[in-house]
Amino acid sequence: MSFAPTHLCTHCMSTIRPVKITKGSFLIELGLWIMLILPGLVYSLWRLSSRYTACPVCKAENPIPLSSPAAKTLLNARR
């Protein structure tokens, strides 16, 4: 497994390996499942549908691949 950066965050300009972030709280989800099935199901579906790829440094959404022309242009402008 390689730990080399694969993406560029356009927000903080870091070269990173993106992470998946799930909005919401696991503890709230667990509590809703314990109380009733419908609220737990709705909350779980919302959490799963709100997942996004993010920068591990600043949590900004949708970093771009380092191989993209936009990333190459931004990296060259930074130098």
What's the mean pLDDT in 54-70? 92
pLDDT value, residue 51: 93
Centre a 10 Å sphere on the Cβ of residue 31 and count the other Cβ atoms it contains: 13
Q: Where are the domains of the chain?
A: 23-78
Question: Tokens representing 59?
Answer: 């949590």
Contact call for residues 53 and 22 (beta carbons, < 8 A):
no
Q: Which residues contact 57 (CB under 8 A, 6 or more apart)?
A: 9, 12, 14, 16
What's the whole-model pTM score?
A: 0.70
| pLDDT of 38 over the 90 cut | no
Q: Which of 4, 2, 5, 23 is nearest to 64 (CA)?
A: 5
